[in-house]
Amino acid sequence: MSTHTTEPLREQVRARYADAALSVTHGERGSCGSGSCCANDAGFGEALYSGAERGELPDAATLASLGCGNPTAVADLREGDVVLDLGSGGGIDVILSAKRVGPTGVAYGLDLTDEMLALAQQNVRESGVTNVHFLKGLIEQIPLPADSVDVVISNCVINLSTDKPAVLTEMARVLKPGGRLGISDVVAEDRLTPAERAERGSHVGCIAGALSRSEYVEGLAAAGFEEVSVEFTHEVADGMHGAIVKAVRGAQAKRRTLPVVRAASQVGCC
């Protein structure tokens, strides 16, 4: 995808999620916009978390939930793990991860949007967890060193990227050998062409940019992942599904051939 296409799409995503964060700060429920997938309460948002999990969270964190799954429920988090949440939004999965990995573990949240990062910091303070760090940056250029993370999670964000091969390669780069993915995302059935996916919803609404199941499997394998699985959980549009994506980083993960400047912008340590 060319820069002329990439930057406008990225700005649309940033603006839409900034609006969602501001809505929550005013006591309203976050939304990706009318007619978007994230506005479908049956398949998106806080309803995908158990009552016990919601009870561990500030109200603003659940109001800001725009995901299509519950990655912390499938990521096999362990005491002492270092966890990275790509597109951490209002912080719901960062907070839950921080509680799961305990005081000897660390939960990082990475997000593009200043308004979401500010909301997430507020939610973390209210939750009382202290083993959290937030970073501002792109999921295509993760501002963390290689081989530094045990688990990568993400909740309905990779479909929004305009350079998905870079995201998959970056996840492999930052994961330690044997590190794990536990991702919730929107995934298309293989029968749908990109044009047919675009007919079912917008890019910022989590639909048009979704990978197909075979594209996900092949992309992760090309990046150096093993034990790849993509499991559909619920339909969000005709031929489009919320899905659980799991994989393990192999010993020989792919590395980006071009150098990337990794000046991490740490916007909060709680």
Tens of pLDDT along 201-237? 766 666 778 999 999 999 999 999 999 999 999 999 9
Classify burial at 90, counting beta carbons within 10 Å of its beta carbon; exposed 0-12, middle 13-18, buried 19 or more.
buried
* Model pLDDT for residues 67-84, shown as the tens digit of each residue: 667 788 888 899 999 999
First to last CA, the chain: 37
Tens digit of each residue's pLDDT (9 = 90 or more) over 6-28:
777 667 666 676 666 556 555 54
Query: What is the pLDDT confidence band of residue 141, given thresholds at 50, 70 and 90?
Result: very high
The answer to whether the Cα torsion of 79, 80, 86, 92 is positive or negative is positive
Dist. CA 229–CA 112, nearest whole Å: 28
Angle formed by the axes of helices 213-223 and 164-174, to 10°? Answer: 40
Bridge-partner residues for 241, per DSSP? 187, 235
- The mean predicted confidence, pLDDT, of the chain is 80
- pLDDT at position 224 is 97
- If you ran DSSP here, which 8-state letter would residue 1 be given? -
Alpha-carbon radius of gyration of the chain: 17
Q: Report pTM.
A: 0.81
The answer to whether the CB of 179 falls within 8 A of the CB of 150 is yes
| Rounded average pLDDT over 99-105 | 96
Q: Could you give the angle at the alpha carbon of 194 between the alpha carbons of 169 and 236, nearest 5°? A: 90
| 3-state secondary structure (DSSP) of residue 25 | helix
Residues sharing a CB contact under 8 Å with residue 101, sequence separation 6 or more, in sequence order: 77, 78, 79, 80, 81, 82, 83, 107, 131
pLDDT, residue 131, reads: 97
Q: Of the candidates 199, 200, 110, 111, which has an alpha carbon nearest to the alpha carbon of residue 148?
A: 110
| Domains of the chain, each with CATH number or no CATH | 3-269 (3.40.50.150)
DSSP helix, strand, coil percent of the chain (3-state; round to 5) = 35, 25, 40
Phi first, then psi: give them for residue 244, nearest 5 degrees: -105, 125
User: Which candidate, 31, 13, 22, 4, places its Cα nearest to that of 202?
Assistant: 13
Within 8 A by CB and 6+ apart from 54, the residues are 46, 62
